[in-house]
Structure 1
Amino acid sequence: MHHARSLTALLLTVLTLLAASACASTTPGTGSVPAASEDGAFPVTMTHRFGTTTIEARPQRVVTVGFNDQDFALAVGVEPVGVREFLGYPAPDRPWAPEGVRGKQLPTVGSQDLDLEAIAKLEPDLILGINSYIDDEAYGLLSGIAPTVAQTADYPEGATPWDKQTEQTGQALGRSEQATKIIAETRAAFDAAIAEHPEFEGKRAVFLLGSSAAGFYNLGADDYRTGWLTELGFDVDAKGGEISYEKLDTLDRDVLLGEGIAEADFKRDLVQQLTVVKEGRYVGLGAFDDDFAAALGFNSPLSLPFLLDIAVPRLAAATDGDPATTPAPYLG
């Protein structure tokens, strides 16, 4: 997801900026890292897919270059001084954001491509890129600006579970206690849903993401955006992929979820004749620019409880065995 061309072209400029910033005094951004951080946690060495990164002292100016890393920093009480744009979504307005950042325009450091000049100008002392999809070259350039934490090699690229990402973020920021607390609170939301709806266990679910003239994309367990479903007890296909309308009947399971599905495509005969649709077991979760889609993409301990509030009642209506109780469509 990162283009090496833009990084290489900016290398000389970034090195110049770094030389200049090294001669200047640095004042931490107001409120960027609360004083309650666990100073005793430093120095800390983080292991990741590119090697190790040692963070000598409590970070004061954190830039997040992972697509969803800003949410994880905020979840443990740290406001980044710069963030990566994600989903073309107005992130400061997301309903699960902490009150302190609602409506605030945090400086951005790129979207699909990272802007190394912008990152260097922010004078970070830590760069968080756990969900950044960076390669070796990008990592080398970023770590030349500041200590950089990337994804571990324990999971496929971009597939770090939310709780593990929270743990890593807390460790890097000296906020492990806060990370443990927010993980427990988020797991409690899952536990409450599971206790209230034991019927979810073992149900086979299909999650269709987007539609086109050719068909749909079926999200599998290899995509982190199905993790919340499996945590609730649902079974999903091990691997996702494109599925044509002609083969859609192979996905006629216990419950069908859809996000970003065009109304015209959903009304096609090959879709409407599916048993799961005829029996009212389809859960429509809105468009790509709705809050649910953003909560799904951020997949953070802040956004997941919001996601559950929307999805769980609709999943309950789809799996109660009563065709008369059809899930209400989510309208954003």
Structure 2
Amino acid sequence: MTSIRLSAHRSALTAAAVAGALLLSGCGGQDDAEANAGGKSGGTRTVTDAKGTKVKVPSAPRRVVTLSEPTLDAALALGYQPIGATSGRGQQTVSSYLEKKATKAEIVATVAEPDLEKIAKLQPDLILLDETVGSKRVIGKLREIAPAVLTSTLKADWKKALVSTADALNKREKAEKWLEKFEGDVRSTRSALGSNSKAETSVIRWQEGGPSVVGKGKGHVGSTLAALGLTRPKNQQGESLGRSEPVSLEKLDTIDGDWLFFGTLEDAASGKKALKEARKVPNFERLNAVKDDHVAVIEGSAWNSAGGPIAARTVLTDVKRNLAG
């Protein structure tokens, strides 16, 4: 991630934006007052964030800004429509798998850093973020705008991150019901795998003319595949060294498996286009998964995301569609 440079000039602009937001809030008409009342009308509650910091938040937040893929994903799964969000990795909008759901979210940050002025102008009553984004470095500045909750650490289990986000939104019971339904669907899908039970599944992202391994470890991809009883190729076991691990075209055979889940940073349409490109690469057509027509084009933005309930559900859906009998 790029470093965040907050110059004195930028800080002054931020302070002005915050002051302007407060002035707008105080001078707005009845509709503005009601829209921006947030949880104030319903009181406040105190939650403890992922670093042990106690944060006073609205009991019924209405103007929520989410500054990471997992917090946006979780908020949407819990029925919230954030007013501000972070752009997806390598994208100008929110991650493409969330684009149709996040219809009201203005882009106010990148994975590297937030735009504090834009956030202040939205007059949020709650800001959610985690350690997957650079916004964590300026959480003090964010708390000058609105209550900001760090929902999870970098390697936190996505299910725990969902519950933490739900706690901040006062929706824990809904999150627990969501997880109960998901785990039931995992069990039923596992029972339906038939001959693909314990299949070796390779997960790669095609970029810049070559493959990168993704979904290693215990994130939303690795944990879902493991829960389904699916195995991974030797070089896709263990924790990942980063967001992805490039594979040399000279070692293309290491991405082979019974099934190859193939995508890009964007949607399935982008994945189909990339697959045509990959088929022109020497030895790609010799992979067993390719010869057996076991290449599954996936919703890559979800598989490659930092995680969340909707992303995990997408992984489950893609596996079920391709492997279940």
Give the alignment's TM-score, normalised by structure 2. Answer: 0.76
Counting only pairs closer than 5 Å after superposition, residues 118-137 of structure 1 correspond to structure 2 as 118-130=118-130, 132-134=132-134, 137=137
1:242-279, CA deviations, whole angstroms, 9 ceiling, x for partnerless residues?
21121122333332221134423333332222233223
Alignment partner, residue 251 of structure 1: 255
Aligned pairs for 1:94-173 (under 5 A) are: 104-112=103-111, 113-130=113-130, 132-134=132-134, 137-153=137-153, 157=154, 159-173=155-169
Is contact 1:67–1:131 with CA below 8 Å preserved after alignment?
A: no
Residue 176 of structure 1: aligned partner: 172
Return the alpha-carbon distance in structure 1 between the equivalents of residues 127 and 12 of structure 2.
19
What aligned pairs does 1:292-307 form with structure 2 within 5 A after superposition?
292-296=299-303, 297=305, 299-307=307-315
Q: How far off is 1:170 after superposition?
A: 0.9
Find out whether 1:16 has 2:24 as its counterpart.
Answer: no
Identity %: 23
Contact 1:160 1:224 (C-alpha < 8 Å) held by counterparts: no
Mapping for residues 131-280 of structure 1, pairs under 5 Å = 132-134=132-134, 137-153=137-153, 157=154, 159-197=155-193, 199-213=195-209, 215-222=210-217, 224-236=220-232, 237-240=237-240, 241-260=245-264, 261-280=274-293
Q: Which amino acid is 1:206 matched to?
A: S
Q: Which has the higher helix share?
A: 2
CA drift of 1:280 comes to 3.0
After TM superposition, list the pairs within 5 Å mapping 1:8-87 onto structure 2.
Answer: 10-22=10-22, 24-25=25-26, 27-29=33-35, 43-49=45-51, 51-58=52-59, 59-87=61-89
Instruction: Show structure 1 runs of 5+ residues with no match.
Output: 286-291, 318-332
Letter in 1 for 2:294: R
Whole-angstrom CA distance in 1 between matches of 2:175 and 2:2: 28
Q: Deviations over 1:289-326 (max 9, x none)?
A: xxx22333374334544443333231347xxxxxxxxx
The counterpart of 1:309, out of the listed 314, 317, 320, is 317
Shift of 1:115: 0.9
CA contact (8 A) 1:32 1:78 kept: no
Query: What's the CA shift for 1:20?
Result: 4.5
Gaps of 5+ in 2: 27-31, 265-273
Whole-angstrom distance in 2 between the partners of 1:231 and 1:181 = 18
Deviations 1:182-219 (A, max 9, x none): 22222222222112125555332211111444x31012
CA shift for structure 1 position 120:
1.0
The two structures, once aligned, show a CA RMSD in angstroms of: 3.4
CA deviation after TM superposition for structure 1 residue 29, in Å: 3.1
Give CA-to-partner distance per residue, 1:15-35, whole Å, 9 cap, x none. Answer: 2333444464373538978x9
